Amino acid sequence: MRKLCAVRGAITAENTKESIQVQTVRLLKELIEQNGLRKKDFVSIQFSITKDLDVLNPATALRLGKDDLPYDLSSIPLFCTQEAYIKGGLECVIRVLVTGYFKKPHHLKFIFLDGAKVLRPDIVEQEK
Q: Which of 62-66, 82-86, 104-108, 118-122 has the lowest mean pLDDT?
A: 104-108
Average pLDDT over residues 81-105: 92
Pair 73, 66: CB distance under 8 Å: yes
Average pLDDT, the chain: 92
Asked if the model's pLDDT at residue 123 lies above 90, the reply is no
| Model pLDDT, residue 125 | 54
Buried-state track 55-78, b at ≥16 Cβ within 10 A, e below 16: ebbbbbbbbbbeeebeeebeebeb
pTM of the model: 0.91
Average pLDDT over residues 96-122: 88
Percent of the chain, pLDDT > 90?
Answer: 80
| Model pLDDT, residue 126 | 54
Average pLDDT over residues 92-105: 91
| Model pLDDT, residue 110 | 93
Asked if the model's pLDDT at residue 106 lies above 80, the reply is no
HSE-CB of 107 using CA atoms within 13 angstroms: 8
How far apart CA 78 and CA 86 sit, in angstroms, is: 24
The four Cα atoms 88, 93, 106, 34 give a dihedral, to 10 degrees, of -140
Name every residue whose Cβ is closer than 8 Å to that of residue 123 and which is 6 or more positions away in sequence.
Answer: 110, 112
How far apart CA 56 and CA 17 sit, in angstroms, is: 6
